[in-house]
Amino acid sequence: MARHLITSAIPYINGIKHLGNLVGSQLPADLYARYLRGRGHEVLFLCATDEHGTPAELAAAKAGEPVAEYCARMHAVQAEIAQGFRLSFDHFGRSSSPQNHTLTQHFAGQLDAAGLIAEVPERQVYSHADGRFLPDRYVEGTCPNCGYEKARGDQCENCTKQLDPTDLINPRSAISGSTDLEIRETKHLHLRQSAMKDRLLEWIDSKTDWPVLTTSIARKWLLDGEGLQDRGITRDLDWGVPVQKGDQPWPGMEGKVFYVWFDAPIEYIACAKEWTDAAGRPDADWERWWRTDRGASDVRYTQFMGKDNVPFHTLSFPVTIMGSGEDWKLVDYIKSFNYLNYDGGQFSTSQGRGVFMDQALSILPADYWRWWLLSHAPESSDSEFTWENFQTSVNKDLADVLGNFVSRITKFCRSKFGETLPSGGQWDEREGMLLADLATRLAAYESAMDAIEVRKAAQELRAIWVLGNEYLQSAAPWTSFKTDPDRAAMQTRLGLNLIRLYAVLSRPFIPDAAQQMMEALGSDDWSWPSDLEPALRALPPGHAFTVPEVSFRKITDEERADWQTRFAGVRT
């Protein structure tokens, strides 16, 4: 069995994320991790909260909390929501961890020794009232493009134009509101990405199996216009990883921290170092996942992320890894996603438009959302959440197909044979055809999952559920019971074994329902069906079962209309 390292884009700390964020990285990563574990592979699935940078400081100030306390609280909130969606992280870490501080400073020292860091003079806004330089997001003012009066120094939220703080009209400090600002000279460290352009291009061109979305974005950044640019990796902030070379001071960089986009990806590595077991013991052998000179050469590393994160993970983070001159593991495959839009527009945190992760769990269990999001994942293009589509998918796929099958066969067995699997009867041509059809669909399902083709995998899984319903309708044990009870017993027994098969295959998509099905069958046999025939005979005659509660209820038109209104937000 192979070893698989899986990471998903780490969510920013300032608030609860919406469903588009979920399906763009964490949820498909969880699907893949669960599938690989089900096939018997060793998996390390890592994620964390991204806690540094201006937005964290601003969010903490708005909440009236010290930034460290705010980040600790929001990490706990995000971890609880992740658990609510059954995201099976092996560790959910924090970019503010001591481990990440140490590793970030280590990489900076290595890059500097390799000549890949330069000190660059810059002109930056200084606030006399605050006694500090103001990073771009700490400067607000009027957008010169559209006249929006609350534009930030990096971008106008109203017209989306990219800005520099010096572009703003009537600029003011976002901290104090002071307009007593001036432009001063300062200096920052830049990562010399341009020096690695040829090596990066050769590496990306070698990834012939990557999604077109991933490689096209990377190549555009490398080759369009002036090509790959050097990037600032320090900021004038109080909260972050202090700028040092390893454990040594960095002359001239006192009071500065590393830029969030430099330290955040390094948290992927630090996350493995942070992990502890149930007894609180760290993994002394964590480097076997990350160092190719210490056992990671046989690890397959897969990253999941939205398309907006692709440039940093195909260019900036690989520059850090390659430029260090050390034997760190590079990503083998990047699965990138387009955007999930919301009901004719976009999700908007500021306008409260769309469904956010905590709200979703407050109205329906996680499996409902997991199924819809994964079966509509924005892989080849942007996709759109609509309440009508969500209602239809839940009602038809989950309630009418899977839920109906489980309910019909368990209730029939109880009414005719009691709550144990009946004995009698032998398979004939109909069961042989079912077995062949299942084998074809299972092979297609496994192929799609191996290739991380999420929507295709969902389609194949649904088709496997449909085969059970078609078999049940064709065999009609309720009819054959009247003339051939032994045959009806065999058909019923096969139907109950299909439930166990469905539990195993469905677990990556809908883990709670899978657990419910397995518990109703009184089984804990989660073995993957490498051979279908014995898998469909796994539960023998006399094996006890119970009729489960309704796995999935239908969404009513009234509920749909209410939710559509409730989550429409305030349009401006």
What distance in Å separates the CA atoms of residue 38 and residue 508, rounded to the nearest whole number?
8
> Can you spell out the DSSP letters for 165-234?
GGG-EEEEETTT----EEEEEEEEEEE-GGGGHHHHHHHHHT-TTS-HHHHHHHHHHHHSTT-SPPEE-E
The dihedrals phi and psi of 190, each to the nearest 5 degrees, come to -120, 140
The residue count for the chain: 572
143 is in an annotated binding site: yes
- The pLDDT assigned to 164 comes to 84
Q: Which residues sit opposite 232 in a β-bridge?
A: 190
- The pLDDT assigned to 572 comes to 36
What distance in Å separates the CA atoms of residue 516 and residue 550, rounded to the nearest whole number?
10
Q: Within 13 Å, how many C-alpha atoms sit on residue 81's CB side?
A: 26
What distance in Å separates the CA atoms of residue 54 and residue 49, rounded to the nearest whole number?
15
Show the tokens assigned to 157. Answer: 């939220």
CA-based radius of gyration for the chain: 27
- Please, which residues have CB within 8 angstroms of residue 248's CB and are 6 or more apart in sequence? 109
What distance in Å separates the CA atoms of residue 267 and residue 273, rounded to the nearest whole number?
9
The 3-state DSSP composition of the chain as helix, strand, coil percent (nearest 5) reads 50, 15, 35
What distance in Å separates the CA atoms of residue 128 and residue 190, rounded to the nearest whole number?
26
> Can you spell out the DSSP letters for 90-155?
SEEEETTSHHHHHHHHHHHHHHHHTT-EEEEEEEEEEETTTTEE--GGGEEEE-TTT--TTEESSB
pTM, entire model: 0.94
pLDDT in 10s for each residue of the chain, 572 residues = 789 999 999 999 998 999 999 999 999 999 999 999 999 999 999 999 999 988 898 899 889 999 999 999 999 999 999 999 999 999 999 999 999 999 999 999 999 999 999 999 988 899 999 888 888 888 999 999 999 999 998 888 788 777 888 889 999 998 889 999 999 998 999 999 999 999 999 999 999 999 999 999 999 999 987 778 899 999 988 899 999 999 999 999 998 999 999 999 999 999 999 988 778 888 889 999 999 999 999 999 999 999 999 999 999 999 999 999 999 999 999 999 999 999 888 888 777 789 999 999 999 999 999 999 999 999 999 999 999 999 999 999 999 999 999 999 999 999 999 999 999 999 999 999 999 999 999 999 999 999 999 999 999 999 999 999 999 999 999 999 999 999 999 999 999 999 999 999 999 999 999 999 999 999 999 999 999 999 999 999 999 999 998 789 999 999 999 999 999 875 43
- The kind and range of the H/E element at 507 are none
- The pLDDT assigned to 280 comes to 82
- The pLDDT assigned to 282 comes to 82
71 is in an annotated binding site: no
| Domains of the chain: residue spans and CATH | 3-114+197-208+259-337 (3.40.50.620), 117-191 (2.170.220.10), 386-535 (1.10.730.10)
The dihedrals phi and psi of 124, each to the nearest 5 degrees, come to -140, 155
- The pLDDT assigned to 544 comes to 97
